[in-house]
Structure 1
Amino acid sequence: MKTAALLFIICVHLVSGGSHSLQYFYTGVTRGINFPEFTDVGLVDGEQFVYYDSNTRQMIPKVDWIKNNEGPEYWDIVTQFAQGHEANFKANVGIAMQRFNQSGGIHTFQWMYGCEWDDETGATDGYEQYGYDGADFISLDLKSTSYVAPVPQAVITKQKKDGVAAEFMKNYLTQICIYWMEKYVQYGKSSLERKVPPQVSLLQTDPSSPVVCHATGFYPGKVMMSWQKDGRDLHEDVDVGETLSNHDGTFQKRAELNVTPDERKKNHFTCVVEHKSGDPIHMILTEEKIRTNSAGTGSSSNNPPVTVLGLVVAALVLIPVVVGVVMVVKRRSGERRSKQHQ
């Protein structure tokens, strides 16, 4: 297995309106690849603000607003906290391998937890989830204050964590986490409340491949992307991706349109990008606006080729977050949407 296959891109769980979030992602990886055995990443409103790994063994600030507001004592405490989890995670990877009857290979064990706060309504929420090799392992149900084990290998963990550990985590998520999130939001208010508009491009590998509407560099991360055909929203032949974080704290998203060159000539297609930074952006699909590698198509001689997209993805891979929990986050987002309709 190639190392790159293990460097999953984080899919940030975004909140809307006047909501704020504080999240932590811990990842333990088996030895044998060019990646730290343990990483710890903290995010506020989707922006990475602290980072720790088993190579440096030091929690470091990733944004000025936390660096300028917390002193040596804070960094000593969070570093010791991370070092403790590092030891636990190295052991947990081995334990999980035993439970799944695995004697070798590359494996990951992840822990994601966080809280959310709506500063307009005062509503709060929290969550804690574990993943192994990119699949759900165990999660906390805040309502029942008990753990849910979707796989037999996690039943032992559930039995150990139900009770005192579950009560402790619920208290942390509903009180302590909210306290620190409010503090961090005040620290980074000017940065977290900024509005940066997206840069929108149309990309295509060759004339027969989908046309990608790519929006990047925007903040905050909530954005709506869609394709229209002759002025009407198009749902078929459209694939809208997840919102992903860039290395500089901004976000990117893509929406693919699967149509033939003949269909594009006969109809009027437009990519619509809606972001709170300004009016909706309407990118009309024309051959001249497409950036492509294919010679003689679009304006490849005047625009960067579609490999620009590859470079963007490569930059994302460098984000120090290994997230097999991508699937976990997706699932949580889906559960949240379903709850809103119950």
Structure 2
Amino acid sequence: MAARRCIAAALIAAAMLAAAPSPLGAAQIAVPADDAVQAEAAARLALAAAKPGTQDHAAAQLVLGSILQARGRHAEAEPLLRAALATALRIEGPEGPGVAIISARLAVTLAAYQRVDEAERMLARAVAILSAVSDAPPEMLAGVLVEYGLVLTMLDRGAEAEPVLRRALALSDGGAAEGSPMLAVAVMSLGMGMMGRGRPAEAEAMLRRAVALTERHFGPSHFETRKALLALGMTLRELGRLAEAEQVLRRAVYAHAQTGIWDNVEAITTAMAVGDVVERRDPAAARIFYARAALGVRRRLETYRDYGAAAQAELAMFAPVFHSQVRTAWAAQR
């Protein structure tokens, strides 16, 4: 029991450091690219200094894996997280809170690989385990609930996702709520869930609050702020308010430009969304945004060693970027 609590404490501390939206770990990738490189380098040094098979080594693997995840490098993150999970299982057993924490992070990568059913099962189990831990930090449970709610949304199970996300919001939106980073993420996730269920008017109000909260907690160019701006811009586009959508989405593009990182999913999606919004009015401008999105896709594809399932899934997901490039190029020749 002592060993279980010891590794749980170490892993909770590591996860609170590494997992978004903590401003100390993965959040460091939201600032200029040089700082992101430094954060990764520091995590690798910590991993090298830890003895393999120990709780410190598992915690270091969790931190580095989470940083790589936040940079969109899931292929590198997965083996680190699986190794950390194996250590946690050996030390505390399948019901341990450390196992739940690492499983939740691993589920994020599974979802990125479109293995959503597997991710859902892993997150459901993580929620159940952490809910039974009396001293688990509320923000930690809220973070796992947010990931679970988003995966349920991906599975078109919006009716189940909304109460999960509202529970995450309730854990964050109380006491020192306005000082809680997880409040911003819970509000944003709930708004995204509403959008996914075809309730854009409700989603807009929630996402405007999310933008304000993320900017206050993390700054204007942070990863979470960029996600909130993208979600709000897409919602405004869905509502037919294209001028407002363009303004918000351009803010998101500018925020991505501040980081110097263009090859994560949000950066690509944001550039693509601006292109879609301006294409009819200004096809020349749209071509520039589509080209930016395509560059990000190519950079991602270059990280794969072969044209395996993961690379094929990436290409299929981003195929519309290249279709849009071709379409606007043809239009420019008329």
State the TM-score, normalized to the length of structure 2: 0.26
Normalised by the length of structure 1, the TM-score is 0.25
Higher helix share: 2
| Higher-strand-fraction structure | 1
Structure of larger gyration radius: 1
